[in-house]
A and B are shown apart, each in its own frame.
Chain A
Amino acid sequence: MTVDSALRRTSLFETHVEAGAKMVPFAGWEMPVQYDGIKEEHIAVRTHAGIFDVSHMGEIEVEGPGALAFLQRLVTNDVSRIEIGGAQYSLLLNEDAGVIDDLFVYRLGHDRYLVVTNAGNHTADLTRFGQLARDFDVYVRDAIDNYAMLAVQGPNARRIVENTLHIDLPARMKVATRQVGRRPAIVCGTGYTGEDGVELLIDPEIAPAIWTELVDSGVVPCGLGARDTLRLEVCFHLHGNDLTTETDPISAGLGWACVESTGFIGSDKVAVFRANGTDEKLAPFVIEGAGIPRQGNPVMLGEKQVGEVTSGTFSPSLEQGIGMAYLRTDLAEPGTEVEVDVRGKRRTARVSSKPLYKKER
């Protein structure tokens, strides 16, 4: 295996390597794709608790009297609805309503917000934030080097984190500042797996010790491979696959994260898409029988291409091929049968409703 020296490493790199993780390049970082196996890690998160190093994700701090007005202009959701200690999913669009990134916005104080970005888009996001900051009374700071980010996810995740780190955790979609390893930390009741859990933004210096403490308490180390299968089973978007600057929020099914009345960049285009409808819609589907769909596979209706797979994998929970595809809008209804061309072989696929995986209660 060749290791690109230009790749960045998180403060947990040595921990991953010593534990035998398989490291791969991802969005400019050298990250663990799996430890013992994607299936086992996936099932551990669905049934118990898993921990992911997501320190490659970026953080941008936004502070000042103009912070709210600035974010209302920049991101699509209604930031005024976030109370202090609250969190919100949002999108960053260009003028044509193309999706530059999808983000979480946390409100830490009256005029103080933290925005968590995707690793591959962090630089583009920063440029965007920096350009617009000139027009507002706001201070924008790249905080990527200040934090290691650990996502602890699964039905037992909260209990183990509370007992191991001796901290009270904020509720789902809430955020709080806490002491972790005797250092200030930001603790978020968020995640991207469809399971309950928390995300810990902590001092990179103490990240290996905290990781090890949690693993010693029974949390299963997981790589980005399981993170991808977990998020796809619950139909969470991955920027670069299901969202790009060529896709708009309405086609992507993210109209719920856009509040046009806030006047965000791209809101006029989003309003038109919402009113008139779009030619395509992102739809989840399940392969009936054999075959695993992959990103880029054409979706066919007879001899006509009617869409393209943007995410596809083998679902460890459902034990079949699943995916999401942009489909001609009239076909993007649950129950519709189409075919996916998987490297020359036609596989029957049925459009499903979100999420593809539902927890048994």
Chain B
Amino acid sequence: MTEASYPEDLKYHPEHDWARIEGGEATLGITWYAQDSLGEVVFFEGPEIGSEVTKDQPYAEVESVKAVSDVIAPVSGEVIAVNDSLGDAPEAINADPYETGWLIKVRLSDPSEADSLMDAAAYAASLE
């Protein structure tokens, strides 16, 4: 998508990552701002299913032609799914960062962590 967008139903981490929290699980990805700064994503390799991610810590990398960027976990949990379609089509992270460009799903180890994340308005304001 060429226009900046920050959906209302997501929670945001200051390192430009989002979480869609549904019950005890969350889908994670990078924001429009992050993919725009990085440029065309040409490579993403997710963590192993069953591994643990920790809030504020990197859990994977996304790479453009020129740069490598850490992806920071907005929440902690166990990895229960990785978006395997990104192996062949990492450009989905640019084209559709919030839907087909999702990165991983986790089972939350501490659902209260989500309270510290920003809503869409606060995140958008932080970018100005």
Q: Give the interface of A toward B (CB within 8 A).
A: 22, 33-34, 37-39, 225, 228-229, 290-292, 294, 313-314, 316, 321, 343
Q: Which residues of B contact A225 (CB under 8 A)?
A: 39, 65-66
Q: For the complex, what is the distance from the CA of A343 to the CA of B66, rounded to whole Å?
A: 15
Q: Nearest 9 CB-CB pairs, A to B?
A: A38-B65, A314-B42, A37-B40, A314-B65, A292-B63, A225-B66, A39-B40, A292-B43, A290-B45
> B124 at the A/B interface (Cβ < 8 Å)?
no
Q: In this complex, which of B40, B66, B87 has the most chain A Cβ atoms within 10 angstroms of its Cβ?
A: B66
CB-CB contacts below 8 Å: B58-88 with A: 61, 63-66, 68, 87
Smallest Cβ-Cβ distance to A314: which chain B residue? B42
Q: Which residues of A contact B65 (CB under 8 A)?
A: 38-39, 225, 229, 313-314, 316
Q: For the complex, what is the distance from the CA of A144 to the CA of B107, rounded to whole Å?
A: 60
Q: Once the chains bind, are B39 and A34 in contact (CB under 8 Å)? A: yes
Q: How many residues of B contact A (CB 8 A)?
A: 12
Q: Once the chains bind, are B68 and A314 in contact (CB under 8 Å)? A: no
Q: Once the chains bind, are A38 and B45 in contact (CB under 8 Å)? A: no
Q: Once the chains bind, are A38 and B63 in contact (CB under 8 Å)? A: no
Sample (9) of A-B pairs whose CB atoms are under 8 Å apart: A38-B39, A225-B65, A291-B43, A292-B68, A294-B68, A313-B66, A314-B43, A321-B43, A343-B68
Q: Which residues of B contact A39 (CB under 8 A)?
A: 40, 42, 65
Q: For the complex, what is the distance from the CA of A225 to the CA of B39, rounded to whole Å?
A: 11
Q: Give the interface of B toward A (CB within 8 A).
A: 39-40, 42-43, 45, 61, 63-66, 68, 87
Q: Which residues of B contact A228 (CB under 8 A)?
A: 66
Q: Which residues of A contact B39 (CB under 8 A)?
A: 22, 34, 37-38, 225
Q: Once the chains bind, are B63 and A314 in contact (CB under 8 Å)? A: yes
Q: Once the chains bind, are A343 and B61 in contact (CB under 8 Å)? A: yes
| Distance (whole angstroms) from the CB of A189 to the closest CB of chain B | 28
Q: Which residues of B contact A22 (CB under 8 A)?
A: 39
Q: Which residues of A contact B43 (CB under 8 A)?
A: 290-292, 314, 321
Q: For the complex, what is the distance from the CA of A356 to the CA of B87, rounded to whole Å?
A: 23
Q: Which residues of B contact A316 (CB under 8 A)?
A: 65
Q: In this complex, which of B42, B61, B63 has the most chain A Cβ atoms within 10 angstroms of its Cβ?
A: B42
Q: For the complex, what is the distance from the CA of A316 to the CA of B66, rounded to whole Å?
A: 12
Q: For the complex, what is the distance from the CA of A314 to the CA of B43, rounded to whole Å?
A: 9
Q: For the complex, what is the distance from the CA of A343 to the CA of B65, rounded to whole Å?
A: 16
| Distance (whole angstroms) from the CB of B80 to the closest CB of chain A | 22
Q: Which residues of B contact A33 (CB under 8 A)?
A: 66
Q: Which residues of A contact B68 (CB under 8 A)?
A: 292, 294, 343
| Additional 13 contacts, C-beta under 8 A, given A37-B40, A228-B66, A313-B66 | A33-B66, A37-B39, A38-B39, A38-B65, A39-B40, A39-B65, A229-B65, A290-B43, A292-B42, A292-B43, A292-B68, A314-B43, A314-B64
| Distance (whole angstroms) from the CB of B58 to the closest CB of chain A | 11
Q: For the complex, what is the distance from the CA of A294 to the CA of B66, rounded to whole Å?
A: 9
| Distance (whole angstroms) from the CB of B100 to the closest CB of chain A | 19
| Distance (whole angstroms) from the CB of A90 to the closest CB of chain B | 29
| Distance (whole angstroms) from the CB of A61 to the closest CB of chain B | 34
| Distance (whole angstroms) from the CB of A154 to the closest CB of chain B | 18
Q: Once the chains bind, are B66 and A38 in contact (CB under 8 Å)? A: yes
Q: For the complex, what is the distance from the CA of A316 to the CA of B43, rounded to whole Å?
A: 12
Smallest Cβ-Cβ distance to A294: which chain B residue? B68
Q: For the complex, what is the distance from the CA of A229 to the CA of B65, rounded to whole Å?
A: 8
Smallest Cβ-Cβ distance to A321: which chain B residue? B43
Q: For the complex, what is the distance from the CA of A33 to the CA of B40, rounded to whole Å?
A: 13
| Distance (whole angstroms) from the CB of A313 to the closest CB of chain B | 6
Q: Which residues of A contact B45 (CB under 8 A)?
A: 290-291
Q: For the complex, what is the distance from the CA of A229 to the CA of B39, rounded to whole Å?
A: 15
Q: For the complex, what is the distance from the CA of A34 to the CA of B65, rounded to whole Å?
A: 11
Q: For the complex, what is the distance from the CA of A219 to the CA of B39, rounded to whole Å?
A: 22
Q: For the complex, what is the distance from the CA of A228 to the CA of B66, rounded to whole Å?
A: 9
Q: For the complex, what is the distance from the CA of A294 to the CA of B61, rounded to whole Å?
A: 14
Smallest Cβ-Cβ distance to A228: which chain B residue? B66
Q: Which residues of A contact B63 (CB under 8 A)?
A: 292, 314
Q: Which residues of A contact B61 (CB under 8 A)?
A: 343
| Distance (whole angstroms) from the CB of A193 to the closest CB of chain B | 15
Q: For the complex, what is the distance from the CA of A37 to the CA of B38, rounded to whole Å?
A: 11
